[in-house]
Amino acid sequence: MGFALPHQQAMFRLFFYFMTETKRQFFGTDGIRGRANEGPLTPGSVVRLGRAAAKVLIPDPGSKRTWPTVVIGKDTRQSGDMLESAIAAGLTSCGVDVRLAGVVPTPAIAMLTRETGAAFGIVISASHNPFADNGIKFFGPDGFKLDDTVELEIERCMLEDSGADPDSMIGRISTMEDAAERYIDFVRVGVEDAELLRGLHIALDAANGAAYQTSETILRSLGAKVTTFHNQPSGININEACGCTHAEVIEQIVRETGADVGISHDGDADRVLLCDESGSVLDGDEIMAIAAVAALESKTLAGDTLVATVMSNAGLDAAVEEAGGKVVRAGVGDRYVLELMKEHGYRLGGEQSGHFIFLDHNTTGDGIVSAVQLLRIMREKGQPLSELRKVMTKLPQAQRNVRVSSKPTVESMAVAGRIREIEEGHGSAGRVLIRYSGTEPLLRILVEGRDKEQIEGEADELAAAIGDEIGE
Residue 127 annotated to the active site = yes
Q: Span 135-161, mean pLDDT?
A: 95
Q: Let me know the angle formed at the C-alpha of 187 by 186 and 190, rounded to the nearest 5 degrees.
A: 90
Q: Span 152-176, mean pLDDT?
A: 90
Helices 367-381 and 284-297 pack at an angle, to 10 degrees, of 50
Encode pLDDT of 44-54 as tens digits. 999 999 999 99
Select the CATH number that applies to the domain covering 190-277 from these four: 3.40.605.10, 3.90.1300.10, 3.40.120.10, 3.40.50.2300: 3.40.120.10
Tell me the backbone φ, ψ of residue 444, rounded to 5 degrees.
Answer: -105, 135
Beta-bridge partner residues of 397: 448
The answer to whether the CB of 272 falls within 8 A of the CB of 368 is yes
Supply the pLDDT for residue 7.
39
pLDDT range class, residue 143, cuts 50, 70, 90: very high
Cβ neighbours for 172, distance < 8 A, ≥ 6 positions apart: 92, 97, 98
User: Which regions of the chain carry the CATH code 3.40.120.10?
Assistant: 36-177, 190-277, 283-395
The answer to whether the CB of 404 falls within 8 A of the CB of 449 is no
Beta-bridge partner residues of 393: none
Would you say domain 36-177 falls under CATH 3.40.120.10? yes
Would you say domain 396-470 falls under CATH 3.30.360.10? no
Residue ranges of E strands in 331-387: 348-350, 356-358
Tell me the backbone φ, ψ of residue 186, rounded to 5 degrees.
Answer: -60, -45
CA distance 401 to 434: 10
Radius of gyration of the chain (CA): 22
Tell me the backbone φ, ψ of residue 356, rounded to 5 degrees.
Answer: -130, 135
Most confident of 25-29, 335-339, 375-379, 413-417: 375-379
Encode pLDDT of 77-135 as tens digits. 999 999 999 999 999 999 999 999 999 999 999 999 999 999 999 999 999 999 999 99
CA distance 416 to 413: 6
For residue 56, the SS3 value is helix
CA distance 190 to 355: 19
For residue 222, the SS3 value is coil
pLDDT range class, residue 66, cuts 50, 70, 90: low
pLDDT range class, residue 18, cuts 50, 70, 90: very low
Closest CA to 121 of 158, 148, 91, 94: 91
Flag whether pLDDT at 3 surpasses 50.
no
Encode pLDDT of 231-257 as tens digits. 999 999 999 999 999 999 999 999 999
Would you say domain 283-395 falls under CATH 3.40.50.2300? no
pTM: 0.86
CA distance 15 to 340: 13
Supply the pLDDT for residue 60.
65
Cβ neighbours for 250, distance < 8 A, ≥ 6 positions apart: 203, 205, 244, 262, 263, 264, 273, 275, 281
Flag whether pLDDT at 2 surpasses 50.
no
Flag whether pLDDT at 262 surpasses 70.
yes
Beta-bridge partner residues of 225: 201
Supply the pLDDT for residue 33.
93
CA distance 364 to 105: 11
- Name the percent of the chain lying above pLDDT 90: 79
Catalytic site residue from 79, 125, 127, 370? 127
pLDDT range class, residue 21, cuts 50, 70, 90: very low
The answer to whether the CB of 237 falls within 8 A of the CB of 80 is no
Flag whether pLDDT at 10 surpasses 50.
no
